[in-house]
Structure 1
Amino acid sequence: MWDWFVNLLTSILAGLAGFTNDWGLAVIVLTFIIRVLLTPLMTRSTASSARMQALQPKMKEIQDKYADDPARMNEEMQKFYSENKFNPLGGCLPVILQVPIFFALFTVARNVPTDAHFLGIMPSISVSVSDMVGSVGLVGAWVYILFDVAFGVLTLIPMVMNLKNTPNEQRSQSLLMGIVMAVMMLWFGWGVPAAVLLYYDTSAVWQVIQQKVVTQRVMDKVKAETEAKLEAQGAQVEVVRKEHKPRPKKKSK
């Protein structure tokens, strides 16, 4: 069952390589195609994240209120999700969909021709940074090393950009996690085929541009709409309370 997807990706990549006459460019074009197809889902994921941030104070209020009654807490949280049409797992789908693409691309990259090059600056995209350093040394493999460093930096940039949407008390922790993740990606990128680095570098550049141009606007809009809805719900509850508040009895003369 898995083989058909790998074969499909291989055929698409080979077709793009034949069209561009460059395997590295083919990987970049394939990345653009994948990102375009995922854009609607990414937009929904962004909206879900923004809604989560706007709903977070109320969710914490429910958690604190029913801390001693987990069953009631779960019931109230589900009711709250339903009232606000919110799915806490709504932002996970784009990430999940990219997992099989990554593993398939990893397999495909292992099987591309050894002379599959990228613009003449990478003699082979089927080898890793580690392989090239071992073969031609640090100086000879500088382009491969540069793409690996870019992988780490481009992993960190979106996390830094997203700090403005993170509560103040969580920013230091989020930044530290971003740095750790960037270092892990540097280590990971050292051993994967250069084709995988090209895919992730291109995908990361796309994400940075998308976050700068589209994502922040979507987040600001959805957060404002959600906060306005919560305020309206609060005002409505207050009106209902006042209407049901018992009137003081008149003193009999």
Structure 2
Amino acid sequence: MKRKPHRLLLVSALLFAAVALTGCGIPQGDVDLNAPPGWWEAVIVYPVAKVLIFMHDVIEGAGIPYGYGWAIILLTLFLKIVTLPLTLKQLQSTKAMQALQPRMRELQEKYGKDRQKLAEEQTKLYREAKVNPLGGCLPLLVQLPILWGLYQALYVLANPSVGELQGAGFYWIGDLSFPDLTTGTGWIATSFTIRDWGMLFAYASLPIIMIVSQLVLQKMSQPAKAAQGGAKDPQSQMMNQMMFFMPIMFGYITLGLPSGLTLYWTVSNILGIVQQYFITGWGGLVDWIPALNRTATAAASSPVQAPPSPPPPSTADERVKPVIKRRRRRK
């Protein structure tokens, strides 16, 4: 019961990887944006493509270069805002699950040998705490269709019959439609063969940034080791392995996908890091960068100077003494 969310995440990631690498669902031949071949294209793919074209035209009309790159970034920001309620629900679920970890460890110690009883007690604990162990998976499951729809939309825009994305660059990236299905990851060997280091930097740097941002985001979503009490249970070990495996796997996949999709993925991670920080703080990232913990602690415990306390109220005798002294001087 306890491992199902993590298995679901892994299966979803592997499914997306398999479909992306095989190019399943990518339109072949000429494409007509006004004549979608199916309901998926009519509801998701072609509307996303048209939104990107509209954003590009507005941005380019305003005199801003790299229209498609900025259109992808704005679309990512819009999707983040739309899915913010789901993200908040995910973070609340994650926080609640982390708060239950001490009691979960107690149940493991008590019923560790009886798996059925352990599962029953865990389910009972979730029910009492009103926590859904699958709640943290919902935003990912929602984002995967969006990611797949954007993946197909970019290929539609790069289709020669549409000809929108071909040659559209973004700063150091020469073509947001590159690499494509025919190229795959073969461009890496080609760049080494012809010693085209500029090409290697242009199309490998963004996947590297994506991997780093994904690692940071996943580490922030975990509690710090100090909060976990230094526990090294099988679930924590599995989470740590997945935390390193999944970003690297996705990073390898993006080496063979259009750079526009990698740009979306990277910007989504960066926006997720900002959301995570303002809602739950640095989380487990302080295990890698202890200075973050010291900074947060110093900010939380910085002394606030209290206003000077007023002088104590004077008594009746103290008010009379100056009057007596003045009278004596007159005499």
The verdict on a shared fold, with TM-score over 0.5 as the criterion, is yes
Indicate if the aligned counterparts of 2:222 and 2:283 stay in contact, CA closer than 8 A.
no
Change (3 A) 1:98 1:139: same
Q: Report how far residue 204 of structure 1 moved.
A: 1.0
Q: Secondary structure at the match of 2:103?
A: helix
Q: 1:149 aligns with which of 184, 188, 208?
A: 208
* Pairwise CA distance, 1:58: 1.8
TM-score, reference length from structure 2: 0.58
**1:39-94 per-position Cα deviation (integer Å, ceiling 9, x unaligned):** 11111111111111111222333344445655554444333222211111111110
Partner of 1:19: 58
| Pairing 1:3–2:3 present | no
Whether 2:220 is the aligned partner of 1:161: answer yes
Residue 114 and residue 47 in structure 1: after superposition, are their counterparts in 2 closer, same or farther (change >3 A)? closer
**Shift of the alpha carbon at 1:175?**
5.0
Distance in 1 of aligned mates of 2:242 and 2:123: 30
Partner residue, 1:189: 254
Counterparts of 1:175 and 1:81, CA distance in 2? 23
Aligned counterpart, 2:197 = 138
2:128 paired with 1:83: yes
- Could you tell me which runs of 5 or more consecutive residues in structure 1 were left unpaired when the two chains were aligned: 220-253
Matching residue of 1:206:
271
**2:281 alignment counterpart:** 216
Please state how far the C-alpha of 1:185 moved relative to its aligned partner. Answer: 2.9
Give identity over the alignment, percent. 26
Q: Structure 2 vs 1, CA of residues 114 and 131 (structure 1 numbering), >3 Å: closer, same or farther?
A: farther
1:230 maps to none
Q: Which moved more, 1:73-82 or 1:1-10?
A: 73-82
Whether the aligned pair in 1 keeps the contact of 2:86 and 2:139 (CA below 8 Å) is: yes
Distance 1:218 1:37 in 2: 24
- Gap change, CA 1:203 and 1:96, over 3 Å in 2: same
Q: CA deviation at 1:138?
A: 2.7
1:122 to 148, 161, 173: 173
1:145 to partner: Cα distance: 2.1
How many angstroms apart in 2 are the aligned matches of 1:77 and 1:28? 41
Question: Could you tell me which residue of structure 2 aligns to residue 100 of structure 1?
Answer: 145
Structure 1 contact 24–116 (Cα < 8 Å) conserved = no
Q: Deviations over 1:105-124 (max 9, x none)?
A: 11111121243524454332
Structure 1 residues 114 and 42: alpha-carbon distance in aligned structure 2, compared to 1, 3 A threshold: closer
Larger Rg: 1 or 2? 2
Aligned counterpart, 2:291: none
Higher helix share: 1
Q: Tell me which moved more, 136-145 or 30-39.
A: 136-145
**Residues matched between the structures, number:** 219
Q: 1:48 to 1:206 in 2, by over 3 A?
A: same
> One-letter code of the match for 2:70?
L
Give, as a single letter, the amino acid of the residue that structure 1 aligns with 2:68.
Answer: W
CA distance in 1, matches of 2:223, 2:114: 34
Q: Which runs of 5+ in 2 are unaligned?
A: 1-38, 61-66, 158-163, 285-331
Task: Give the alignment's TM-score, normalised by structure 1.
Answer: 0.74
Higher relative contact order, chain-length normalized (CA < 8 Å, sep 6+) = 1
Residue in structure 1 matched with residue 105 of structure 2 by the alignment: 60
Letter in 1 for 2:248: V
1:169 deviates by: 3.6
Query: Which shows bigger deviation, 95-104 or 153-162?
Result: 153-162
The code of the aligned residue for 2:176 comes to I
* Corresponding residue of 2:28: none
Question: 1:76 and 1:122, CA in 2 relative to 1: closer, same or farther beyond 3 A?
Answer: closer
User: Relative to structure 2, which stretch is displaced further, 164-173 or 33-42?
Assistant: 164-173
Please tell me whether the aligned partners of residues 159 and 175 of structure 1 are also in contact (alpha carbons under 8 angstroms).
no
Other-structure match for 2:299: none
